[in-house]
Each structure stands twice: as structure tokens, then as C-alpha cells.
Amino acid sequence: ELKVEQNPLFLSMQEGKNYTIYCNYSTTSDRLYWYRQDPGKSLESLFVLLSNGAVKQEGRLMASLDTKARLSTLHITAAVHDLSATYFCAVDGGDDKIIFGKGTRLHILP
Amino acid sequence: DADVTQTPRNRITKTGKRIMLECSQTKGHDRMYWYRQDPGLGLRLIYYSFDVKDINKGEISDGYSVSRQAQAKFSLSLESAIPNQTALYFCATSELDRGYGYTFGSGTRLTVV
């Protein structure tokens, strides 16, 4: 059974700092997704990583995938308040369904 | 109009009542999903469907049932609601090639009292 673990689950950081959110998963998969959720809102797709070594960047966010280590990272560069949200990673569990981590609640202090 | 529409947006119901949450999509996707979100638990898959004749149970299907009335419509029912089914429910769709990930609806906040 596929397990997806994110850490940390809560992160409070200051504007301008860099930080990384980690997503580990328990079984082989080569598709991983990152989503953002603002309070009370739906999930917005950020990145789709489809192969080992995939790296994608959008603004201050960069995601990477290492399928051999079963690890994805979401790196935040020079954080700004607008990036405060909950970030979810989700992994393709086969059978056409994806399994979500518990989410990382990111709070960026001015 | 939203690509994936959920109704109602909010609902308060009493224990023991039957309730249906509806989802419709205009993306033309074959695959549709129902997830439940609880604080600190992430999203958990309830049911998913690949087409109108293909319905599959997810991680937490007990106490729920679904109906795929058409390619564009996928409904979730709680036959006899109980308080621990209070949660935020999301419908999602995807294409056969899931290189594009999922598209989520706006969610239905359900409270069972």
C-alpha cells in the first residue's frame, strides 16, 4: 500500500528566507504532483513531475523528483507572504488514482 | 463557468439523513474522483470512476455510495449521515494521460449534526 509522507507538516518562516518541503513515498512511482491550497479554497495544481530527475520551476517555487530515492522536494526561494498556503504532494499509486500526503501548512511572516 | 462544479457548496444535515453531493464537469474527462479532506489528514480517496460502467472503491468507501449518471456527472451519497462524516468533500477529474494531473472542484463543506 502506497504511503506518502510530507515533512514538515507545519512551517513558519520569515520573508526572504529559503526552505524546502520534503515528500517521501513508499512504493515505486514515476509520477508526482504538487498542489497548493489556500484556506477554504480548492486545490490548485502547481507542478506535475513525470520522470526521474524532473525539475520544474515557477517563480519562487522549484520542484524536483528522485524516483530512486522515492523523494520529491519543493524548494522555496526568498519567501514572500503570498506563498502562505498549504502544499500537498500526491503520488500516482497505480490503478489510475493518486494518494495525497497530509499537507505542509506554510506560514510566512513579514 | 468552472470546469468542475460541485453542489451544494455548504450543507448542514442531521444524523441519519440521506444526502447527495453532486459533481459535474465540462472538461470531457473520463475519470472522476471523490475525495474527503479532514484537518491534518490530507485528502483521502472515497470512490473513483473511469467511465459510467466502471466504479471503484477508494481508501474510505464505507458509509458512502456513488452514481456515475453520465460521463460528465458523478454523485456521492451518504445513505445515513453520521457526525464523523463532517468534512470538506472534493470532486476531481483527470484525462487518460494524467500527465496533466487532476482538476478539482471548489468543494462541498458538509456538517452532520
What tens digit of pLDDT does each residue of A44-68 get? 999 999 888 889 999 999 999 999 9
Chain A and chain B share a number of CB contacts under 8 A equal to 52
Report the alpha-carbon distance of residue A44 to residue B79 in Å, rounded.
30
A93 pLDDT tier (thresholds 50, 70, 90): confident
B interface test, pick of A29, A30, A43 with most B CB neighbours within 10 Å:
A43
Contact A99, B45 (CB under 8 A): yes
Would you say residue B97 has pLDDT above 70? Answer: no
The predicted pLDDT at position A1 comes to 84
User: Is the sign of the CA dihedral B102, A90, B20, B31 positive or negative?
Assistant: positive
Is B40 at the interface with chain A, CB within 8 A? Answer: yes
| Overall residue count recorded for chain A in this entry | 110
Task: Categorize the per-residue pLDDT at B40 as very low, low, confident or very high, splitting at 50, 70 and 90.
Answer: confident
pLDDT mean over A3-31: 93
Task: Give the pLDDT confidence score for residue A64 in this predicted structure.
Answer: 96
Over 60: is that where the pLDDT of A30 sits?
Answer: yes
Q: Looking at beta carbons, which residues of chain B come within 8 Å of A92?
A: 98
